[in-house]
Amino acid sequence: MRDRTHMKSIALARERCLLCSVVPPNRFAAGEDPLDEIGRLIDTAGGEEAGRLIQRLARPVANTYFGRGKLQELAQAAANKNADTVVVDDDLSPKQLAALENAVSRKVIDRNEVILDIFQANARTRQAQLQVELAQLQYELPRLTRKWTHLERLGGGIGTRGPGESQIETDRRLLREKIAALKSGLGEIEARKERELGSRGNIFAACLVGYTNAGKSSLLNALTQAGTLVDDRLFATLDTLTRRLDCGEGMEILLSDTVGFIRRLPHHLVASFHATLEEAAKSDVLIQVTDASDPLALAQIEAVHATLTELGIGDIPRIHALNKIDRPASAGMVEALLKQASPAFPLSARTGEGLERLVAHLRKRVEACLRRVRLRFNAGDGRRFAVLNQIAAISDTVYEGSDVIITARIDPADLERVRRLPGRMRLEKRKAENA
């Protein structure tokens, strides 16, 4: 039996994996293979698919997950396929996990463990590493009992507690202490990120969200030349990256890329990645990126919406970027997506097609938030000039004697900030107009 108290990679590299699941009615669309997604996850984790097995049931069996006959079939399939590992596309209880391992005499892992392993392999920053470790520990805590099932339990009463029970309590205490320490460390990071976000002032912010591997990082690179990692695999990006996007006419926005979503994302990961997703929570608009060439694009849009709602940010205004329209399979899906998603912009991050329309739409959203003003102040007031260059969209600069007149679009709160600066400044109300 595996030692589950040490947070190591499940090391699927080069392991032959038998994929299996209980499939309730109506969970998957017609024509969709229920095990395709877990197959992609196994491929990302470095494993090799050895075969597939499903059982159609309304719900898994409480203690054994599969029915008795299907358990025997699973054990036989694992032996015939020479599988090293049995991968269940579901969240298993400790009892179900123990029953399956006893039945197949092989390592058994569930969907959550696969996703946690991929996240662990892709975590680069200190924040991401802490978040993954926290999610792993929270996953392991209720499963500690299995490590000590080989130790004899003595009867009840004073002085009769078995060594296994004592060790379980010790391990639980150590895990809880570690979880508390990780939460404290992440709390400090979250507070720092909160300060960083606050220091940006009132610059319009947009955040890329979407299903994993939909092309969010590619779109960020295409729009901002960010140079971020682009890889054709699930969860290649875990850490938030923010870049400035020039929307034209002197207007800029902050554009952020975030971790991708997936159906039935483990709730431990959703909770621990709260700090990473602060960028999305603080955004003025979410740009939901969808792979328009994927036959399951509509289901993926729904999965992303469900995750955003779970995170408490489902009510933030959203626009849809229908990516990968350069692929032949996208034509029919784009038409279907346009009927479901609005506003929506078909585009290709790879070829650049459609990017101009998306940027123009973002510019209109920025304009709707800004006030158009003409400000007159001393031409030698370098500090005010520098602040305006940083926070306002300047469209015209005219010098009259010792004064300068600047026409700009600016957030009302930022205008008050400029007004409070030392020195003379006048708002030329006669020619000012609201956007």
pLDDT digits (tens, 9 = 90+) for 223-254: 998 666 566 666 666 667 889 998 887 788 89
In this prediction, residue 11 carries a pLDDT of 56
- Strands 371-378 and 425-427, how do they pair? antiparallel
The answer to whether the CB of 361 falls within 8 A of the CB of 343 is yes
In this prediction, residue 412 carries a pLDDT of 84
CATH superfamily of 16-120: GTPase HflX, N-terminal domain (3.40.50.11060)
The CATH class for the domain spanning 370-434 reads: alpha beta
- Label each residue of the chain as H, E or C: CCCCCCCCCCCCCCCEEEEEEEECCCCCCCCCCCCHHHHHHHHHHCCEEEEEEEEECCCCECCCECCHHHHHHHHHHHHHCCCCEEEECCCCCHHHHHHHHHHHCCEEEEHHHHHHHHHHHHCCCHHHHHHHHHHHHHHHHHHHHHHHCCCCCCCCCCCCCCHHHHHHHHHHHHHHHHHHHHHHHHHHHHHHHHHHHHHCCCCCEEEEEEECCCCHHHHHHHHHCCCCCCCCCCCCCCCCEEEEEEEECCEEEEEEECCCECCCCCHHHHHHCCCCCHHHHCCCEEEEEEECCCCCHHHHHHHHHHHHHHCCCCCCCEEEEEECCCCCCHHHHHHHHHHHCCCEEECCCCCCCCHHHHHHHHHHHHHHHCEEEEEEEECCCHHHHHHHHHHCEEEEEEEECCEEEEEEEECHHHHHHHHCCCCCEEECCCCCEEC
pTM flag (> 0.85): no
In this prediction, residue 238 carries a pLDDT of 65
Task: Name the residue ranges covered by the structural domains of the chain.
Answer: 16-120, 123-197, 202-367, 370-434
Domain 16-120 identical in fold to domain 370-434: no
Q: How far apart are the first and last CA of the chain?
A: 67
| Angle 301-306-308 from CA coordinates, rounded to 5° | 95
Residue with tokens 């729009």: 223
What fold, for 202-367?
A: Rossmann fold (3.40.50)
Please identify every stretch of the chain with a pLDDT value under 50, giving residue numbers as ranges.
Answer: 1-9, 148-162, 430-435
In this prediction, residue 31 carries a pLDDT of 66
